[in-house]
């Protein structure tokens, strides 16, 4: 008998002739998540088993697996032979000692001499004989003992299904560059695109000395949190102080944020194209702040050719906060460090700026020189 972690996937089943590719990427991601833990990973009939890990590390293995996109559910259980005595030995380990319960059996091996109902009845009867505090309730039990009889003469016994991260394996849906601000929204946007299988890299803009080193460290902390889900994350930081000073000195005050975002998009596209990324990702939510109106978004889109994905565009703030808490980013996101968008923030920012007016104001700036200077300030960190 061996303790194992059982992994099940969902959407990959729908991939037809491409399923093998998705399974290979999924397996590779599972291996990345378990780096540093001695183990073996084996595929068996639509599920994966993590085996041969050190005793006492089952919970750690399960916790790491829980963050891998593509995992529909997982269980800590036992791999053993398929005789009734062996199955019962495993059932005793996962069964409660009191309360209501039932035994639920699945037979992947249809030639097994007993039916699923017969296996459940016999194992349930043995458990009742051994643990007198148990009572059968097949409709609403407090506990369930799950038995899975496999085709290879083995059986799996476990006591619960734990919800996985869902989604598709990271790396199966192209590459995107996330503009990460350090606030609540952008880490959630990166998480959501990774969940759909996109490999996500990060770009952060800062305005030192107007923004502090603490603000940069906050973004580094968020990048580490995201790397738990994206598996590999590269963070690039770029200084836009000179750009903001020039905008503030020469352009209409109400366009400070609008013009800054156009520069951000230009710089982001250059990085994306350099590193083979296919889109930009932002945490914008329609109407949440002045720069996130449809006019503001159109202004930003106008300076790039790559598609811009906004996975939060229809979310309200409460929905975004709930997801931020779920992924463990919220407490870091609300740390009181400023970001570059709060520097030279106008009292009355433009809500519906006309593109023609924006372009006229932008002519007052040496756009190409400012962009090139910002690019030279880039610093990279890999997690």
Q: What confidence tens digit (pLDDT) does each residue in 43-90 have?
A: 987 789 999 999 899 999 999 999 999 999 999 999 999 999 999 999
Nearest alpha-carbon partner for 71 in 169, 156, 146: 169
3-state secondary structure at position 148? strand
Token pair belonging to 338:
């400023």
Q: Which residues 6+ apart lie within 8 Å of 232 measured at CB?
A: 32, 199, 382, 383
41 domain residue, yes or no: yes
Which of 135, 163, 191 terminates a domain? The answer is 163
Can you tell me the distance from the alpha carbon of 90 to that of 94, in angstroms, rounded to the nearest whole number? 7
157 domain residue, yes or no: yes
169 domain residue, yes or no: no
Specify the number of domains making up the chain: 2
CATH code assigned at 243: 3.40.50.620
- Residues lower than pLDDT 50 in the chain: none
pLDDT at 349: 83
142 domain residue, yes or no: yes
Residues 128 and 247 in one domain: no
Q: Tens digits of per-residue pLDDT, 260-278?
A: 999 999 999 999 999 999 9
Residues 66 and 151 in one domain: yes
pLDDT at 172: 96
pLDDT at 342: 66
Tally DSSP H helices, then E strands, for the chain: 13, 15
Residues 130 and 202 in one domain: no
> What is this structure's pTM?
0.91
Burial of 214 (0-12, 13-18, 19+ CB in 10 A): exposed
| Phi and psi torsions of 306, nearest 5° | -70, 150
Nearest alpha-carbon partner for 309 in 203, 220, 186: 186
pLDDT at 340: 66
SS3 content of the chain, % helix, strand, coil (to 5): 45, 25, 35
| Phi and psi torsions of 130, nearest 5° | -90, -40
Which of 163, 191, 215 terminates a domain? The answer is 163
Which of 163, 191, 212 terminates a domain? The answer is 163
Residues 190 and 305 in one domain: yes
Can you tell me the distance from the alpha carbon of 258 to that of 358, in angstroms, rounded to the nearest whole number? 8
pLDDT at 289: 85
- DSSP result, 48-116: EEEESPPTT-HHHHHHHHTTSTTEEEEEEEEEEESSHHHHHHHHHHHS-SEEEEEEEEEES-TTSSS-H
CATH code assigned at 18: 3.30.2130.30
Question: Is 181 in contact with 339 (CB distance < 8 Å)?
Answer: yes
pLDDT at 61: 98
- Domain extent for 241: 175-382
Question: Is 101 in contact with 159 (CB distance < 8 Å)?
Answer: no
168 domain residue, yes or no: no
Residues 208 and 324 in one domain: yes
């Amino acid at each position: 008998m061996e303790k194992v972690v059982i992994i099940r996937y969902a959407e990959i089943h729908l991939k037809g002739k491409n399923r093998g590719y998705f399974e290979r990427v999924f397996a590779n991601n599972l291996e990345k998540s378990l780096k540093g833990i001695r183990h073996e990973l084996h595929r068996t009939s639509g599920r994966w088993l993590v085996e041969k890990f050190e005793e006492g590390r089952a919970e750690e293995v399960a916790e790491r697996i829980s963050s891998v996109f593509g995992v529909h559910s997982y269980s800590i259980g036992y791999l053993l032979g398929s005789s009734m005595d062996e199955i019962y030995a495993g059932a005793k380990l996962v069964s409660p000692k009191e309360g209501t319960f039932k035994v639920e059996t699945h037979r992947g091996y249809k030639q097994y001499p007993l039916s699923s109902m017969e296996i459940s009845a016999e194992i349930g009867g043995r458990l009742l004989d051994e643990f007198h505090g148990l009572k059968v309730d097949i409709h609403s039990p407090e506990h369930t003992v799950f038995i899975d009889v496999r085709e290879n003469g083995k059986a799996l016994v476990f006591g619960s299904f734990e919800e996985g991260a869902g989604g598709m394996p990271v790396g199966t849906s192209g590459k995107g560059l996330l503009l990460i601000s350090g606030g609540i929204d952008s880490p959630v946007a990166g998480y959501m695109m990774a969940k759909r299988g996109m490999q996500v890299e990060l770009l952060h803009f800062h305005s030192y000395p107007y923004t502090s080193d603490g603000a940069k460290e906050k973004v580094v902390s968020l990048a580490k949190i995201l790397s738990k889900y994206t598996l590999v994350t590269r963070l690039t930081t770029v200084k836009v102080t000179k750009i903001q000073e020039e905008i503030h000195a020469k352009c209409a005050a109400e366009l400070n944020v609008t013009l800054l975002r156009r520069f951000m998009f230009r710089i982001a596209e250059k990085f994306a194209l350099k590193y083979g990324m296919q889109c930009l990702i932002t945490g914008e939510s329609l109407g949440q702040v002045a720069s996130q109106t449809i006019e503001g978004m159109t202004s930003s889109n106008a300076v790039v050719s790559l598609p811009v994905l906004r996975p939060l565009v229809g979310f309200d703030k409460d929905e975004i906060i709930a997801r931020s808490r779920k992924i463990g980013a919220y407490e870091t996101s609300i740390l009181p460090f400023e970001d570059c968008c709060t520097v030279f923030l106008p009292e009355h920012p433009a809500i519906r700026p006309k593109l023609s007016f924006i372009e006229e104001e932008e002519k007052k700036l040496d756009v190409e020189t400012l962009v090139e200077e910002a690019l030279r300030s880039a610093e990279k960190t890999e997690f």
